[in-house]
Structure 1
Amino acid sequence: MTSPLLAINHLSVAFRRSETLRPVVNDVSLQIHAGETLALVGESGSGKSVTALSVMRLLHTSSVAYPSGEILFEGNDLLHAEERVLRGIRGNQIAMIFQEPMVSLNPLHHVEKQLYEVLSLHRGMRREAARAEIITCLDRVGIRQPASRLNDFPHQLSGGERQRVMIAMALLTQPKLLIADEPTTALDVTVQAQILNLLRELQRELNMGMLFITHNLHIVRQLADNVSVMRHGSVVEHNGCQTLLNQPQHPYTQQLLAAEPEGRALPLASDAPVILQVENLRVAFPLRRGLFKRQVGEKVALHNLSFSLKRGESLGLVGESGSGKSTTGLALLRLIQAQGEIWFDGHPLHHMPRKQLLPLRRRIQVVFQDPNSSLNPRMTVQQIIAEGLAVHRPALSAVQQESQVIAVMEEVGLEAESRHRYPVEFSGGQRQRIAIARALVLEPDLMVLDEPTSSLDRSVQKQILTLLRRLQQQRQLSYLFISHDLDVVRTLCHQLIVLRQGEVIEQGECEKLFAAPGEAYTRELLASAQLSAG
């Protein structure tokens, strides 16, 4: 048996808080050989990402301690390596795809500059040679017309496109070990399948080891050789992939495998009034060129979308990354300019000035796709959730505000005692729950949910879907549910709209479209989802 490429032996990690140490990873041991994939699964906050960040020593030295253990990469102890040695390994021999691309990408630099920096620093390539390789790599990860996207900034890309740029950045250096922290979370099923195939190809070409962190057990079944299950900072079960998934021994592993989305949309009252009416919604962004940035054309992101949504009804919006799903949500919220008519409970949102629109903001809330960029890092969770109450319900006292914050945190499965902590102290899934709590605390009538469960593990996802269904029943909430997870859409939605490159491909009742899709693209999406689930 050859020596492992990466060996984590009895690793414990603790965070410093004042003068105390709070354990977050306890006595974890893992091994990865060249050409092998180890999947690390478990619920949010179980210690998966902390373990991965410890491998590359990316946790801030002033706030972290390693009470025990060692991390050996090709026999070299990374825990005690000098910073100079680590710089030669990070991004070169060990690359990482981070969970939240909007935070990882520099908002001030365009795509080409960020990718060129990797090739220049680690492979010494000149710009012209690098450009050809960058275009090839972007094409391989599924960016359409990659040459035309080189000058785009991160905010001009969809969530899935940003994630694909991050994947390209990690793969450009052809690393010996790839650490992938939820790399397909923001991707639709068709691109997800493409990325998984790409990772398998590169793994064979480079004999690359891979530590794959995910909450999607369908992906684990397709990709992993071995699986380690983490809970509360400890590995509770480790085994070969097929053995663990087919014959789980630990009760928590059995619970994870059983936590698949289930159920169907709630029955809708026949006399339910229409709360949202959209007619011929169109969104176009100006294309500017030259020194003076003159407009030379426009890029149409959404073409003439029309639908109606009743009180207590859920509308699913599906399609691949860049299809216009998030653009639709932003247009309905009047956060970007759009043409067409938007009627909310009889109010013409498309004509209303900002001042008149403000009282309606409380009734229309949003949960954004990337909680790390939508939560203020300088505010505590208490302040984040209570901010809307301060604006829309100023008569509430501080005690009443805190009481409502505690209630909504408990409702979404967060410990109320954690309300004085900052977003950085929470896992990705916990941050998403904070974002959901912030929207719910104002008791809205309509919620725009942009991939609200994409960063959640299956067990928590099931809890959130149950919560959303219960809230819908109790409060007659209406949902615009944007997602690439068709299993989740089917459990919650009454209607379904399939988008592709801003065009409506198919529209109708959710169950009918799942049972008998009329368009080839819808059939392709459903087939990819079934393949992923298989």
Structure 2
Amino acid sequence: MSLLIVKDLSIAFRASGVERRVVDSLSISVEAGETRALVGESGSGKSVTALSIMRLLPSPPVVYQQGDIHFAGQNVLTADERTLRGLRGNRMAMIFQEPMVSLNPLHTVEKQLYEVLSLHRAMRREAARAEMLTCLDRVGIRDAARRLKDFPHQLSGGERQRIMIAMALLTRPELLIADEPTTALDVSVQAQILTLLKELKQELNMGLLFITHNLNIVRQLADNVTVMHNGQCVESNTTRRLFDSPRHSYTQTLLNAEPEGRPEPADSHAEPLLRVSQLQVAFPIKQGLMRRVTGYHHALRALSFVLRPGESLGLVGESGSGKSTTGLALLRLIPSQGEIWYRNQPLHQWDRRKMLPVRPKIQVVFQDPNSSLNPRLNVLQIIAEGLQVHHPALNEKQREARVIAAMREVGLDAETRHRYPAEFSGGQRQRIAIARALILQPELIILDEPTSSLDRSVQKQILALLKKLQRDRRLAYIFISHDLQVVRSLCHQVVVLRQGEVIEQGECEAIFSAPKERYTQQLIALSDFAMFPQSPRQNS
């Protein structure tokens, strides 16, 4: 008997008396020791399916219209709460997609991990601490003993994701549901996590339902693949057969959606837009009852570069290497040392008030549009917010006209401007974030992992949009990413960072073709392996 059997499952959301079907007659199964990948675009029903397996969807508004979900012979949809508590965490666990939402911001890492071990394995504090340190080390958390005392906001996005993975693995479940567990991770940590999952799958004979938009990971990890589109299964096969000879046109579209092309040449003789010299960021380490400063954590050391109009600079490196810290320092949102010159203006000498006139010219697009867009404002209000601050003389009609123009420029239907962020897909929300940045007519946009949470087909559209905007407006980009394929497709220059140190920098194509430093070589080798991995063992 299969460990998990989902048969003819249909799920609908009911709002204002109207039902909208989001999963339609889906059937999948997972055997013990098997990895089944669930792939498809944002909004295809993958995460809804995962949450339904553990009965975590709220009812209402969710309606289970028909079908069955059986785990180890137990009907999950008819189980009472006591039975479900015995299954969740103990026998099946889940790695959620958004760690900042899933982790409690008021509790330390240690307290949250210990809660899992005390509830599900009845471990005492001393034994639990040793187990926690071992698991954190296995998922790639450096200096694990010190990081146990940290709160979620003190960790990078990739580190928070690794904490979530550790939390799920601590219980040694029979079935692990992983919903985009490697989205925020760089290629080196990604490889480490995939290796760990393979080892645990063999060690525990664990079933793994792996939800992802990254088809390269599917090649490496999965035995079987189910492709979803608009809530339906459009194709299901062994990994090898699906990649070698996809039958459905939608599957073929997904497989052909890899980043491609190179950036258009920039004018190397243009006057520099941004000059950065010896940029450094250090955060104080406070200890003791009085929280006295006992030292400093150097998040970034001695970064220098020149950026011209129409040019893109990529910042790559592992989680915690200083990429996002660099972006915040350039925006003058955190204290830093060194020099930042924007059109020969010394931003490093300016206070918050003096920076205000420059803000419209340097905009930012964040990694997670779910967090960066105010859910209480509609799209018109979100995009127009910057205009109200920086162009108060505009009347309501003029602001709305500019919003409509910005939405059309990024490929959004202007008729949807009165809707709220929750009514849009992930790719559409990221376009809203880009439109919000563009409406102020910036010259430089800092893009912090803008495509990492998007599936490949939407990612390809966003990259094409960014290239078009750069060509039309001569925009300069600072592109922060752990996806080297995306960086190579978009950037002219690249800086490789590791633990705040500049390992290597120069022209993007030159570094990708002939990296000089061993660390850069390792990153590119891991990226190449992700692109062209050896096929995993397949079911016949």
Q: Do they fold alike, i.e. is TM over 0.5?
A: yes
Pairwise CA distance, 1:91: 2.1
Q: Give the 3 Å change call, closer, same or farther, for CA 52–434 of structure 1 in structure 2.
A: farther
Match of 2:157 among 156, 159, 167: 159
- Checking the alignment, whether the CA contact within 8 Å between 1:25 and 1:232 is kept in structure 2 is yes
The CA deviation at 1:413 is 4.7
Q: Choose which of 381, 384, 394 in structure 1 pairs with 2:382.
A: 384
The partner residue of 2:261 within 252, 257, 263 is 263
Instruction: Name the counterpart of 1:98.
Output: 96
Q: Does 1:372 align with 2:370?
A: yes
Give distance in 1, aligned partners of 2:487 and 2:183.
Answer: 15
Q: Is 1:317–1:496's contact at 8 Å kept on the other side of the alignment?
A: yes
1:478 aligns with 2:479: no
Match of 1:524 among 510, 522, 528: 522
SS in 2 for 1:389: helix
Q: Which moved more, 1:109-118 or 1:55-64?
A: 55-64
Distance 1:326 1:369 in 2: 10
What SS does the corresponding residue of 1:267 show, helix, strand or coil?
coil
Given that 2:268 and 2:308 are in contact with CA atoms closer than 8 Å, whether structure 1 keeps it comes out as: no
**Aligned residue for 1:254?**
252
Residue among 178, 181, 187 paired with 1:180: 178
What is the deviation of 1:268?
A: 1.0
2:209 paired residue number: 211
**Matched residue, 2:166:** 168
* Aligned residue type for 2:212: T
Amino acid at match of 2:430: Q
Cα separation, partners in 2 of 1:359 and 1:441, compared to 1, 3 Å: same
2:279 is aligned, of 275, 278, 281, to: 281
C-alpha deviation, 1:406, in angstroms: 4.2
Distance in 2 between residues matched to 1:7 and 1:410, nearest whole Å: 44
1:109 shift after superposition: 1.0
Give the SS at the match of 2:315: strand
**Relative to structure 2, which stretch is displaced further, 431-440 or 258-267?**
431-440
Matched pairs, number: 532
Q: Tell me the equivalent position of 1:327.
A: 325
User: Any idea what the Cα deviations from partners look like across 1:321-360, whole Å, max 9, x if unmatched?
Assistant: 1100010001001111111111112221111121221121
In 1, Cα distance between equivalents of 2:364 and 2:24: 37
Matched, 1:293 2:323: no
Q: Shift of residue 427 of structure 1?
A: 4.6
**1:39-118 pair list within 5 angstroms:** 39-118=37-116
Q: TM-score w.r.t. structure 2 length?
A: 0.95
Equivalent residue, structure 2, for 1:33: 31
How far apart in 2 are the matches of 1:206 and 1:141? 17
Candidates 196, 199, 218, aligned match of 1:198: 196
> What is the correspondence of 1:331-342 to structure 2 with a 5 Å cutoff?
331-342=329-340
* Distance across 1 between alignment mates of 2:389 and 2:126: 52
Question: SS in structure 2 opposite 1:108?
Answer: coil
Q: 1:502 aligns with which of 496, 500, 503?
A: 500
Cα offset, 1:411, TM superposition: 4.2
The amino acid of 1:433's aligned partner reads R
Report the AA paired with residue 441 of structure 2.
Answer: E
2:104 alignment partner, SS class: coil
Deviation at 1:83, TM superposition (A): 2.4
Say if 2:467 is the partner of 1:465: no
Query: Aligned partners of 1:400, 1:61: CA distance in 2, in Å?
Result: 43
**Aligned ranges for residues 391-470 of structure 1 at < 5 Å?**
391-416=389-414, 418-470=416-468
**Offset from partner CA, 1:283-322 (integer Å, 9 cap, x none):** 0000111111011111110001111100110001011111
Q: Is the 8 A contact 2:108 2:152 kept in 1?
A: yes
Q: Deviations over 1:145-190 (max 9, x none)?
A: 1111111111111111111111101111111111111111111111
- Alignment RMSD: 1.6
Distance, in Å, in 2 between the alignment partners of 1:70 and 1:348 is 64
> Which residue does 1:302 correspond to in 2?
300
Deviation at 1:66, TM superposition (A): 1.5
Q: Which residue of 1 aligns with 2:489?
A: 491
Report the CA distance between 1:127 and its aligned residue.
1.2
Question: What is the alpha-carbon distance in structure 2 between the residues aligned to residue 411 and residue 17 of structure 1?
Answer: 32
Q: AA paired with 1:112?
A: E
CA distance in 2, matches of 1:382, 1:28: 37
Amino acid at match of 2:317: G
How big is the shift at 1:381? 3.1
Where 2:349 maps in the other structure, the secondary structure is coil
Matched AA of 1:224: A
Per-residue CA shift, 1:82-126, capped at 9, x if unaligned?
A: 223222222222211111111111111111111111111111111
More displaced stretch, 467-476 vs 414-423: 414-423
Letter in 1 for 2:29: Q
Cα distance in 2 between the residues matched to 1:426 and 1:206 = 39
Cα deviation, residue 52, structure 1: 1.0
Higher mean C-alpha displacement, 513-522 vs 376-385: 376-385
| Structure 1 residues 164 and 282: CA distance shift in structure 2, 3 A | same
Please list every run of at least 4 consecutive aligned residues from structure 1 whose deviation after the TM superposition is greater than 6 angstroms.
none
Deviation of 1:35 after TM superposition, in Å, equals 0.9
- Distance, in Å, in 2 between the alignment partners of 1:74 and 1:227 is 21
* Distance (Å, rounded) in 2 between the aligned partners of 1:411 and 1:28: 37
Give how far 1:418 is off: 4.6
Q: In structure 2, what is the equivalent of residue 235 of structure 1?
A: 233
Equivalent in the alignment of 2:21: 23
Does structure 2 conserve the Cα–Cα contact (< 8 Å) formed by 1:45 and 1:430? no
Percent identical: 69
Distance 1:372 1:366, change over 3 A: same
Shift of 1:371: 2.6
Matched to 2:258, the amino acid is E
* TM-score (norm. length: structure 1): 0.96
- Assess if the C-alpha contact under 8 Å between 1:102 and 1:373 holds in 2: no
Moved more, 436-445 or 93-102: 436-445
Letter in 2 for 1:487: Q
When residues 398 and 29 of structure 1 are mapped into structure 2, their CA distance, relative to the original with a 3 A threshold, is: farther
Instruction: Indicate if the aligned counterparts of 1:272 and 1:312 stay in contact, CA closer than 8 A.
Output: no
Is this contact kept in 2: 1:110–1:154, CA < 8 A? yes
Give unpaired runs (5+ residues) of structure 2: 533-540
Equivalent pair of 1:486/1:526 in contact (CA under 8 Å): yes
Residues 12 and 63 in structure 2, CA contact (< 8 A), matched pair in contact too:
yes
Q: Deviations over 1:24-43 (max 9, x none)?
A: 12111111111111111111
| Alpha-carbon contact 2:6-2:27 (below 8 Å) kept | yes
Partner SS state of residue 362, structure 1: helix
Deviation (angstroms), 1:50: 1.2
SS of alignment partner, residue 292 of structure 1? coil
CA–CA separation in structure 2 for the residues paired with 1:325 and 1:90 = 36
Match of 2:538 in 1: none
- Cα distance in 2 for residues equivalent to 1:272 and 1:456: 34
Per-residue CA deviation, residues 186-244 of structure 1 (Å, 9 max, x unaligned), is 11111111100000000111111111111111100111111111111111111111100
